[in-house]
């Protein structure tokens, strides 16, 4: 055990001095854990608990996982794990998980192997480790992008990760809806304000012209009454002048009214055009996101009996039923064979 501890310290010192130990921590994690490669043994302690914990989560999240089998104890384990990690990285996986459940201390010696730890450091894909019990700690844990005490704790981390992304997307979606609603409300307010202002201006001009005409008519009536007998001719001349003045003012009022009508119509058309453009853009966004539109182009959606979307060949086995949804209906199907790329 003393020799093992000295070797562990020498490996840690070598990886630290060469800068290898910091490589994984510097890798950016994906926004979502998409394709997840599981480097473990199908018979390893903790593998079944990990899958059950991941599949039976209370949110109903679905994960795309693929097993890359490797030996998890013994002298051949480091080379086996390195080979499985290389295959996972080459397959385009976005995340590699190296894990196994607890066991005897001697079963865990392989996770302090220098070649394995250096391969983890140099891996171009983020590696998460969960090896042993809560009390265990190995060199691979210091080399990985993140480490966890147990495979179950690693599964909890993935669930928390996806849940936080879902919350962020929900907040972003609500913000878009609120912004669109505010845009529509602001456009309606601008349109209403323009209509009210133009209407008030028109009514103000009409009231002023009414008062002017009333004053003129009152003056005419008084003059005619006072001088009817002596100045009928003058009264007729005044009446003619007044009528001409009224006709001229009436034409001026008509011109003002036409200008106001044109301004109101222009303002209303402009505001309605902007509002129509905004509504049209939002409608295009909504139509573009409509699954039925995608289905109408000839694509199909693979789902199980409960309506859950099937995202990979691993989600169905030979003989199991599934459905293919088209835009105008569905096919009830059954798997006759599974071919993996």
State the CATH number of the domain containing residue 22: 3.40.50
Residue owning tokens 């990886």? 15
Do 322 and 224 fall within a single domain?
no
Paired residues of 285 in beta bridges: none
CA-to-CA separations, 173 to 62, 79, 178, 184, in angstroms, rounded:
21, 47, 9, 17
At 252, is the pLDDT very low, low, confident or very high (cuts 50, 70, 90)? confident
Q: Does some domain include residue 205?
A: yes
Q: Is 184 exposed, middle or buried (0-12, 13-18, 19+ CB in 10 A)?
A: middle
Report angle CA 169, 174, 176 to the nearest 5 degrees. Answer: 95
Q: What is the DSSP letter of 309?
A: B
Do 12 and 34 fall within a single domain?
yes
Strands (E), the chain: 35-40, 64-69, 95-100, 127-131, 146-148, 301-303, 321-326, 329-334
At 336, is the pLDDT very low, low, confident or very high (cuts 50, 70, 90)? very high
From 130, 149, 168, the end of a domain falls on 149
- R_g of the chain, CA atoms, integer Å: 41
Do 240 and 282 fall within a single domain?
yes
* Distance, CA of 322 to CA of 336 (rounded, Å): 11
pLDDT number for residue 134: 67
Do 255 and 300 fall within a single domain?
no
Q: Does some domain include residue 34?
A: yes
CA-to-CA separations, 236 to 225, 227, 231, 295, in angstroms, rounded:
12, 11, 9, 84
Q: Does some domain include residue 238?
A: yes
Q: In this structure, what are the phi and psi dihedrals at residue 149, rounded to the nearest 5 degrees?
A: -70, -40
Do 285 and 302 fall within a single domain?
no
Q: Does some domain include residue 222?
A: yes
pLDDT number for residue 224: 55
Query: What is the count of structural domains for the chain?
Result: 3
* Distance, CA of 340 to CA of 314 (rounded, Å): 8
From 149, 168, 203, the end of a domain falls on 149
Paired residues of 324 in beta bridges: 302, 331
User: Residues 112, 77: contact at Cβ < 8 Å?
Assistant: no
Do 136 and 11 fall within a single domain?
yes
Do 138 and 210 fall within a single domain?
no
Higher pLDDT, 120 or 186: 120
Residues 180-231 have pLDDT tens digits of 888 888 878 887 887 778 878 878 877 888 887 788 777 777 775 777 777 7
Query: Which residue from 99, 113, 274 is spatially nearest to 186, judged by alpha carbons?
Result: 274
Tokens of 249: 């003012």
* Distance, CA of 170 to CA of 258 (rounded, Å): 51
Q: Does some domain include residue 320?
A: yes
* Distance, CA of 226 to CA of 40 (rounded, Å): 118
CA 34 to chain centre: 16
User: Residues 24, 126: contact at Cβ < 8 Å?
Assistant: yes
Do 126 and 212 fall within a single domain?
no
Do 225 and 300 fall within a single domain?
no
From 98, 129, 149, the end of a domain falls on 149
At 62, is the pLDDT very low, low, confident or very high (cuts 50, 70, 90)? very high
Q: Does some domain include residue 59?
A: yes
Do 192 and 262 fall within a single domain?
yes
Query: Which residue from 69, 129, 126 is spatially nearest to 98, judged by alpha carbons?
Result: 129
Tokens of 199: 């209407």
Q: Give the global pTM.
A: 0.52
Q: Does some domain include residue 339?
A: no
Asked whether residue 147 carries a pLDDT value surpassing 80, the answer given is: yes
What domain range includes position 311?
A: 295-334
* Distance, CA of 144 to CA of 67 (rounded, Å): 19
């Amino acid at each position: 055990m003393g020799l093992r501890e000295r070797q562990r310290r020498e490996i840690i010192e070598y990886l630290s001095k060469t800068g290898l130990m910091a490589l994984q921590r510097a890798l950016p994690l994906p926004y979502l854990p998409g394709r997840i490669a599981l480097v473990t043994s199908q018979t390893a302690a903790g593998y079944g608990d990990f899958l059950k914990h991941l599949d039976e989560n209370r949110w109903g999240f679905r994960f795309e996982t693929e097993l890359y089998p490797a030996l998890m104890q013994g002298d051949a384990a480091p080379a086996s794990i390195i080979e499985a990690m290389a295959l996972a990285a080459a397959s385009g996986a976005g995340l590699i998980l190296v894990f196994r459940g607890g066991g005897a201390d001697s079963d865990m010696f392989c996770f302090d192997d220098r070649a394995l730890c250096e391969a983890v450091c140099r891996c171009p894909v983020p590696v998460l480790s969960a090896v042993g019990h809560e009390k265990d700690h190995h060199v691979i844990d210091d080399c990985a992008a993140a480490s966890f005490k147990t495979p179950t704790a690693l599964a909890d981390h993935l669930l928390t990760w996806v849940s936080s992304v879902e919350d962020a997307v929900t907040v972003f979606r609500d913000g878009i809806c609120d912004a669109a609603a505010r845009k529509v409300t602001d456009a309606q307010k601008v349109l209403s304000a323009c209509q009210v202002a133009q209407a008030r201006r028109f009514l103000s001009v009409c009231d002023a012209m009414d008062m002017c005409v009333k004053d003129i008519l009152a003056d005419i009536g008084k003059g005619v009454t006072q001088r009817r007998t002596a100045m009928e001719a003058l009264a007729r001349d005044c009446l003619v002048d007044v009528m001409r003045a009224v006709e001229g003012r009436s034409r001026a009022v008509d011109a003002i009214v036409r200008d106001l009508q044109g301004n109101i119509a222009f303002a209303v058309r402009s505001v309605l055009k902007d509002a129509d453009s905004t509504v049209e853009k939002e409608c295009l966004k909504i139509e573009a996101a409509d699954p039925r539109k995608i289905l109408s182009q000839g694509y199909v959606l693979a789902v199980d009996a409960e309506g859950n979307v099937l995202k990979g060949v691993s989600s169905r086995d030979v003989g199991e039923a599934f459905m293919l949804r088209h835009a105008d209906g569905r096919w009830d199907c059954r798997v006759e064979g599974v071919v993996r790329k």
